[in-house]
A and B are shown apart, each in its own frame.
Chain A
Amino acid sequence: MSSPFARTALTKATSLMRAGGSSAIPKKGGGNSLNGEPRNDLIKKVLFDAPPRPPVRLSPEDMTRHETIERAWKLVRQQQKQAQEEGLARKFEMMRKANAELEATSAQLFKHSQTKERHAVFPRQLRTLTDTPPKQIWNYRQPAAAPSPKA
């Protein structure tokens, strides 16, 4: 019937209402409110007494239109994902062939290429993509002043 979660929510609500509302001694100002705050009544009303979302009613034409749009979207997303996967597969194949060639060429170079760096981390400079660029788009660093003498 009703899930345990619904039951606890209801009991929580009623306990809140009871805690806030029913005091035998009438208070000045806010009426039946916790700490005399009428805002808490409004908050409780918005949280617990708000009417539920009405069910979506679409006419048959609107329904077919909506379904067609959704199918078109899914198709486009599928094509995009397929293209991405194909691109990755091509990259992987190139990498695999290069490594096979390296293995056949030089055992020393191959061994170094296959051993992973133990404490490798992502660089902090890997930027999260945003809608618009920052004020300073690219940092064209100046080169170091002079090479150290011990070099």
Chain B
Amino acid sequence: MSSILRTQVLRTAVRSLATATRSQIQVTPARLTVAARSYTSAAAPAPLKSNISSTSSAVVSSTKDLIINSQRIVAGAVVSRQPLILRDLTPFEKEYFLYQKNLERDHAAAFGAEFYFKKGSVAERRWKQQEAERQAAAASGASSTSTGAKGSRSSKGAEAVQDEVTEEDRVAALEAKIQFNDRITDADRKNDVRSLERALARTLYLIVKKPREQHAWQFPQGGVRVCENLQEATGRELAEECGSNMDLWFVGRVPIGHYQYNFPKDFVAKSSNTAVKGAKVFFMKAHIFAGQVQVDNKEVVDFAWVTKQEMKDYVAPEYYEAVKDMLSDF
């Protein structure tokens, strides 16, 4: 009797416990659900969320230009496309690395081929071939320069037994062929300065052309408004002049350089506000990760992505002298 009671008590206890825990689990708060993330690397990934910080002053936005001490405050953009591939090695670097490789091989401990290669396998046969070639090269007196093994290997392959050749072919067919893409692109060959695929080992900077004779080429720039900060102004001006099809990331809020100039006399006379005598440009740094410039053909008629050295051929000499130290040599 007591056992029956005990089991009944136990059963009810378990049931109540289960219901208690179940109710707790059912009350899952919303924060426990994980937001769905797509980890698939699509061909066209989602555009970068702009990292421009808005000024916290919640005043009604005005389009009035910021003018201090009869100088217009202007925000300029130094948009750079960072290098995509490693730089080319200098001839001395190539020779030195080759020298080190040969030195290391000459003084290395004995290699246990019987451990790493299965007896009678294709890989073992290839290794023995390569070793024989290396011995021959070393014996013939090539001290630092290594001979190309590919030519001799193909000739040796032709002399091989029929069975070995077919096995080699079978293994070669199974192996994945690694294709390396060219470091020199079509844009390099055509010298297309508007392309972002040119000079992959160098940093490219954006310069735009204004429809005028003097000082036509320069970094994109525009006046800062009274309720704006420098980052906001730069972002706005870039969107207006160069389109919004650019994935930009601003490198902090700190300006990287400045440039001061006075307007020509006739420009001051023609302009609406004759009190403004000149402009002070503060340059903000940004990286482009995707997209391309789309000129508005009103303020800006052309654009180019150029290296620091090539910029000399585009911009005015005094402008280049003023801005060159902001730019990477590489």
Contact = CB atoms under 8 A, between A and B. Distances in A.
Interface residues of A, number: 57
Interface residues of B, number: 66
A52 B109 contact: yes
A150 interface: no
- Chain B CB within 10 A, most for which of A51, A120, A126, A138: A138
Interface stretch (A5-13, A15-23, A26-34, A141-149): A141-149
A91 B325 contact: yes
Contacts of B278: none
B245 A143 contact: yes
A53 B292 contact: no
A123 B46 CA distance: 13
A113 B44 contact: no
A139 B290 contact: yes
B126 interface: no
Contacts of A120: 51, 252
B289 A123 contact: yes
B258 A132 contact: no
B269 to A, nearest CB: 25
A105 B249 CA distance: 26
Interface stretch (B7-15, B80-88, B310-318): B80-88
B115 A46 contact: yes
B244 A144 contact: yes
Given A53-B109, A129-B86, A133-B200, A141 B291 contact: yes
B85 A130 contact: yes
Nearest to A123: B249
B53 A133 contact: no
A102 B86 contact: no
A79 B95 CA distance: 18
A6 to B, nearest CB: 19
Given A91-B325, A143-B244, 13 more contacts: A46-B112, A50-B112, A69-B99, A76-B92, A94-B325, A108-B229, A116-B253, A132-B180, A133-B183, A137-B185, A139-B290, A139-B291, A143-B294
5 contacts: A108-B229, A112-B55, A112-B231, A120-B51, A141-B47
Q: Which 6 A-B pairs have the closest CB atoms?
A: A125-B289, A90-B325, A98-B258, A139-B290, A112-B229, A94-B257
